[in-house]
Structures are given as C-alpha cells and as structure tokens.
Amino acid sequence: MLYREAGDFKSTYSSDNQTFPIRFDRYAYWAALGFAFLVVPFLLTDYWANSIVIPLLIYVIAALGLNLLIGYCGQLSLGTGAFMAVGAYATFKLTFAFPWMPIYIVFILAGLVTAVVGVLFGLPSLKIKGFYLAVATLAAQFFLIWLFTRVGWFFNDSATGMITMPQRSMFGVTVTGAAASAIAVYITCLIFVVGMSWLARNLTRGTLGRTWMSIRDMDIAAEIIGVNPLIAKLTAFAVSSFFVGVAGALLFGVYLGAAEAGEAFGINKSFLVLFMVIIGGLGSILGSFLGAAFLVVLPVLLKLMLVDTLGWPADLARHLEVMVIGALIVIVLILEPHGMAALWRTIKDKLRLWPFPH
Amino acid sequence: MSETVLFAFEAALNGLTVGIMYSLVALGFVLIFKASGIFNFAQGVMALFAALTLVGFQEGAVPFAPLINATFGTSVHNFGFNMPTLLAIPAAVAVMVGFAWLVERIVLKHLINQEPIILFMATIGLAYFLEGLGDIMWGAEVKRLDVGIPQGGNVWFEENTQWLGMGNENFWGFYIDTLNLYALVIAAILVTALVIFSQYTKQGRALRAVADDHQAALSVGISLRFIWVLTWSIAGIVALVAGIMWGSKSGVQFSLSLIALKALPVLILGGFTSIPGAIVGGLMIGIGEKLFDFFMQPIIGGATENWFAYMLALAFLLFRPQGLFGEKIIERV
C-alpha cells in the first residue's frame, strides 16, 4: 500500500514531529525538490520561465509572507504592494551604494529594510484590528507609493522616475540585468523559495508561530494566558514584511529589471497577493504555493484559450479574468473557507483509508 | 482679505464638493454595515456599475455586446434607440434591486455566521466580479453621462462673492461648478429621505430593529433576509446617485471605484454606524485634503490627496478608534 502510516514507526521525538509524517509524503517531497533543482533547469525555455515559472516562485514568497500575517496572526493587511515596493527600492539603493556586495546579500538586506518599515506600519495593530487595521495598512500603501514616485532620492533622480537594475552576478554567474540567463534566474528564485518556506514552516510550528495563532484565535484570551501581544503582532509584521520585501526585491531585481512604483506595486498587487492567500488557504504553507500557482497560471491559461484559440480581443479576456477571479474568491469563501489546502487535506484523509470507506 | 486666505477658502469649497461624493459612497457603506454587519467593499464598484448601466440604457446599448461580437463574429452595438433619462433611471434602479436580491440569494445566505473578516474578503471578491461584469456588459471605454443637470462655472455665485475680495483685482469671486451645487442639494434630499424612511415607515422601523439586534428582530417576526435585500437595494440606489454625480462630472470610468477606497477613511472618521458621521466625515476629508494640498504643495510636492485621507484616518484610529459619532467599541470575552 502506498499511502499508509502503518509500519512507519517513530522512535524519536524529532521523527515524531517532522513535517511529513507519512513516508510517501517524504519521498514525494524529496522527489519534487530533486525535480525542481535537477530536471527543470534543463527543460526551461524562456517563454515558460518568464510567463509562469519565475513569477510563480516570486509570488510564492509574497503569499507566504502575507499568509504568515493574515492566516497565522490574523492581522489583515492591504499594503502588500507597497511593502514589495520597499524591497524593490531598497535593492536598488543598496546595490548602487555598494556595488561590490553579493546580490543575494542585497536581497536579504532589502528584506530586512522592509521588515523595519513593516514594523513601523504594524504599530497601529496594537490598538486596532480587523478592517480598521486594513485601512491603516492602506495608508502605508498609498503613502509609500507616493513617496517613491515623488522623492527623487529613491530613484536617483532618473528622468523617467523608474528604477533600473544594473547587471550583478553571484558566484561568477550573471543573475540580474538583461544578460542573465533564464536558468540562473530560476535557480536564484528557487533557492530563495526553498529557504524561505523552510523558514516559514519552522517559524510557524515553533513558539513564535503558536503565539501568533493564539493572537489570531482570540487576542484577549491569549493576553490573559501570558502571550505578549506587542511582541507577537510586531514579530508577525516584521517576518511577514521580510518575506514580502524579498519577494519585491526579486520581482524587481531578477524579473522586471525596471519598475515604477505606482505601476508595478500598486493596490492591485496587494489584492492579487491577498487573493492568492485566500484561494490557496489561510494559515497553510502549502496553500501559499497552491494559491500563487493558481493565480499565476489562470491568466496565462485564459489568454491561451480565449485570445489565441478563440480570437477574442485581449482586453475582453482581461475583463473576463477579473470577473472569474472575483467569482472564484466568493465561491472559495462559501464552499471551502480554508482554500485549496483544505481540499488537499480532505484528499489526504481519503487516501490514507483507501480503498475502505472508514 | 488677503489672497492666500481667499484661495485657501476656494480650495476648501472645491473640497466640499469632492467631500459630498465621499459622503455618498460612505453612506452606502454605513447602511449595509448597520443592517448586516458587513463591511461592503464593493460599494464603489456598485456606483460604477450603476452608472454604466444607466449610460447603457440611455444609449440603448446591447448588453454584453463585446462578448457577443467576439463569440459570434457579429458587430452589434446599439438597439438603435435612445431611452429617455426618466425611463432609464428607474430601469437602472430595477437592475440594482435585482443585483441586491441576487447577492442575498447567492452570496450572503451562505455566509451567515462567518467571521466579519471573511465577509469583508467576500465583498472584495464581489467588487472584482462586478467590475469585470460591468466592463464585459457595457464595454470598458470612458462614457459620457448626461442626465440633464446643468454644468460649468456658476456665474451667479461668482458675481455675488466678488465683494469678498475687498477691491482686490486678482479676485473674481469664488468659482464653483453648478453641478456641485446640485450635488449638495441632492445629497441633502437623499439623507432627509433616508431619515424619514427609517423613522416613519414600517420597513424603516424593521430595518432599525435589525441594526440594533439581529436575534431580537428575528424573534419578533422580522424577516432578516428581506431586510438584507432591502438594505442592499437602498445601498444600490445610493450608489446610483453617487455614480450619476461623479459620472456627469468626469465621465463614467474606472476611477469611480477608487473613490470607494477613500470612503474607508471617511468611515473611520465618522464612525461605522452613524449616517451623520458618514456625511460629516466625507466633508471633513474632502476639505482637509484640498487644504492640505494647498498649503503643503510648495513644501512637499503635489498629489498628496492620494494618501492624506488615510494618514488622517490612521491618526484618528490611534486616538479615537470608534470615530467621531460611532458607538464605543466594547469587547467581551
């Protein structure tokens, strides 16, 4: 039998607490990792890399970050786009100020800068919650974007108001700029995705994750049993913004190459990432992957079907896409409030018993 | 009076009229929030959709024309007649009522007893759906909306305020768009009508009862579902009014749904449950952002309207989270 716990005896605490308790899941996980690192780079074409794989990997990081904040700590944020912009602009400023700095370090530092900004805008969460907080994060969204388009220091007074990524390499391989190969970009994003999801998984099952979840479930009760809401909420904002900042840095650094704050990181980006989290599943690491994959692949599929096959005008297909995404959000919230990850959980439960019903 | 004061005053006057728009959208928010505890993010898009529908009816446009053309290779656009405005407005109202009924039937019914935050996210989905639907149904280009409200600078107002300049040659009296004066009057009529409806009619009383306590209202035989359809219909009509105002001023286009976002800080200022709060909050934000822009433009640059409202709301949240007129937020474990 393939999908069984039977015969897989746990004799240590660490093996009892591991992420994938079922042997088949572990094999599948290692197989997926091996496939992503060893097989995909050789199959990757420029079209696949640019339209699906790389945006997918970058949005996975952003969705993970937002999921930590909304799904685990219960703090609604509509400022994701602006925090991604902070990551992007921090990358730009840092790599121009210190051209010798390894670009991976720059991405991580950009994430840390975003974390500081995130904590700053997370401060109101100590007093307010729910959609009051959503409005407070909207303030971050509009204020930061305004700042990045108005103050010349942020974009080095370039005439177009855009920031452009110079060519940088890591271990002798060009990673950013127009000359970077799809494989180098892919491997860069993949390393970050694997590292960040490992971090997210281990944070959420540790003390920190538990304090976040207690705040989410009932903040007053959590405070009474000794959880410090100040630390819990601010760390959630810091970690979440770190993830989102790294995603913004990668989006600008390795994917877009040039960006303008209002266009690339507007309010629509905030909603896009929020939708990924909702469709994928609130409070689930796997959900962030599924949600990001779904919302990256859906527009490509729709375009392929409607524009290329049926010959519809592109703007009509775009409107239909907006409509479909909206309807999907409502349907998901009605049928399965915990998203695609919950569907996977149900399938797993069924698989464990298959072919028996109980 | 010195020039700065005069121009600041004119900026404030302009802000007042923008503020009315914010108030109208915020009013729709408050109505739904009071009756069902739902924070309806789709209110702004409802205004856009209502205005689009009105224009579509006026021009006799074929619904879903772009879709039909793309699917069957035809090129239909118009039925070939123009519906008079007096007929088109009730038709648009009927569409909004139908929409309210559908929302209750398809969405709200299934989300009873969910957390407010889930409902909020559902309305974000609804907003996206409605936005796409509006574009597919009536086409995405900017449309002119004319329902016969006079427009342009108001000469009477300008001439009668010239004396305020005290002989200052640069001052010609305050400029104000006639349309905005009408908007002011219509908003006042709308609020009065709403107050009369909720105070003196049976349905209005039921509506207030539901707003006060869902369970108690249910136990005395008020149909919650009917009341929800009713409030969403009223919110739809308020959205139509807002859509007509904004649409006659700057054309029916996507930017209309962005004023919905501005209505959020308005609500925080005025309080989520107060109709006067929505009006006062809207006016305050409208005037505030114009004045702030007027005084700060030389120092920190323009376009501060984009974020001023939110920052003001943020400051308010830190000191008075329930808003100016809202009920105090009491939390029980």
Among B217, B191, B187, residue whose Cα is nearest residue B205: B217
Angle between helices B43-59 and B224-250 (to 10 degrees): 70
B310 and A135 within 8 Å at the Cβ level: the answer is yes
Amino acid at A98: F
pLDDT 10s digits, A123-176: 888 777 777 788 888 888 888 888 888 887 888 777 777 888 887 877 877 777
Separation of alpha carbons B38 and B127, rounded Å: 14
How confident is residue A96, by pLDDT bands cut at 50, 70 and 90?
confident
CB A306 within 8 A of CB A317: yes
Q: Is the peptide bond before B116 cis (omega within 30 degrees of 0)?
A: no
- pLDDT confidence of residue B320: 75
| Cα within 13 Å of Cα(B261), Cβ side | 25
- pLDDT confidence of residue B169: 61
Separation of alpha carbons A289 and A197, rounded Å: 10
Separation of alpha carbons A88 and A111, rounded Å: 9
Segments in chain B below pLDDT 70: 1-3, 76, 79-80, 147-148, 151-175, 256-257, 301-302, 326-333
- pLDDT for residue A342 is more than 80: yes
CB A154 within 8 A of CB A145: no
DSSP letter for A205, please.
T
* Residue A345, number of CB atoms within 10 A of its CB: 15
Stretch A81-96: mean pLDDT: 91
B136 and A316 within 8 Å at the Cβ level: the answer is yes
The region, left, alpha or beta by phi > 0 then psi within -120 to 50, assigned to residue B38 is: beta
pLDDT 10s digits, A263-317: 888 888 898 899 899 888 888 888 899 999 988 988 888 888 877 777 777 778 8
Stretch A225-251: mean pLDDT: 91
DSSP β-bridge partners for residue B78: B61
Residue of B74, B310, B332 to mutate for A, most A C-beta atoms under 10 A = B310
Q: Which residues of B touch A150 (CB under 8 A)?
A: 300-301, 303
- pLDDT for residue A85 is more than 80: yes
Which string of DSSP letters, residue by residue, matches B99-159? HHHHIIIIIGGGGTT--HHHHHHHHHHHHHHHHHHHHHHH-SS-B----S---SB-HHHHH
**What is the phi/psi pair of residue A174, to 5°?**
-70, 125
CB A227 within 8 A of CB A215: yes
**What is the phi/psi pair of residue B249, to 5°?**
-80, -50
3-state class (DSSP) for residue A78: coil
Residue A357 token pair = 């019903």
3-state class (DSSP) for residue A164: strand
Separation of alpha carbons A231 and A208, rounded Å: 9
3-state class (DSSP) for residue A259: strand
Stretch A321-343: mean pLDDT: 85
Separation of alpha carbons A212 and A233, rounded Å: 7
- pLDDT confidence of residue A160: 78
- pLDDT confidence of residue A151: 80
Q: Residue A267 is inside which H or E element, if any?
A: helix A267-280
Q: What is the overall mean pLDDT for chain A?
A: 85
* Overall pTM surpassing 0.90 (yes/no): no
Shortest distance, CA B181 to any CA of chain A (angstroms): 30
**What is the phi/psi pair of residue A259, to 5°?**
-150, 155
- pLDDT confidence of residue B266: 86
- pLDDT confidence of residue B165: 62
Nearest beta carbon to residue A326 from set B67, B129, B268: B129
With CA atoms as reference, the chain B residue closest to A316 would be B136
Among A110, A67, A72, A73, residue whose Cα is nearest residue A249: A110
Q: Which residues of B touch A307 (CB under 8 A)?
A: none
Among A28, A13, A4, A240, residue whose Cα is nearest residue A114: A240
**Burial readout A290-300 (b: 16 or more C-beta within 10 A, e: otherwise):** bbbbbbbeebe
A271 and B128 within 8 Å at the Cβ level: the answer is yes
- pLDDT confidence of residue A83: 93
Nearest beta carbon to residue B132 from set A275, A320, A330: A320
Separation of alpha carbons A129 and A125, rounded Å: 6
- pLDDT confidence of residue A1: 54
Stretch A182-205: mean pLDDT: 90
Separation of alpha carbons B272 and B266, rounded Å: 9
Residues 6+ apart with CB under 8 A from B13: B174, B176
